[in-house]
Amino acid sequence: MKKRYLEIKRLWQVTKQVLVFSAVIHILILGFLALREKSLVYLNYLLILDLKQVFPRLFVNSDHFLLSLVVLSFIFLFFFYKQR
């Protein structure tokens, strides 16, 4: 029983590591594109999540970049204070 629990725990840890690694690579690629194209639109968090497909009316004007920063700030603060 304990061995099975440790295997599941290890699988969960490896899954989290793979997700974080993939996310870092993804952000590095987008950062490179933003520098190459000289456009911050590649770093828009809401576009990275492809939420434009789910909420198209949200992206009608240019305020979505500001909204992206607000959403990302809330997520950052949530995880920052959750660790305490």
Domain layout of the chain by residue ranges: 1-41, 44-84
Residues of the chain with pLDDT under 70: 58, 60, 62, 83-84
Q: Match 């660790």 to its residue by tokens.
A: 83
Q: Residue 55's pLDDT is what?
A: 74
Taking the alpha carbons at both ends of the chain, their separation in whole angstroms is 31
Q: Residue 83's pLDDT is what?
A: 66
Cα separation, 84 vs 80, in Å, equals 8
Q: What is the pTM of this model?
A: 0.65
Q: Residue 63's pLDDT is what?
A: 73
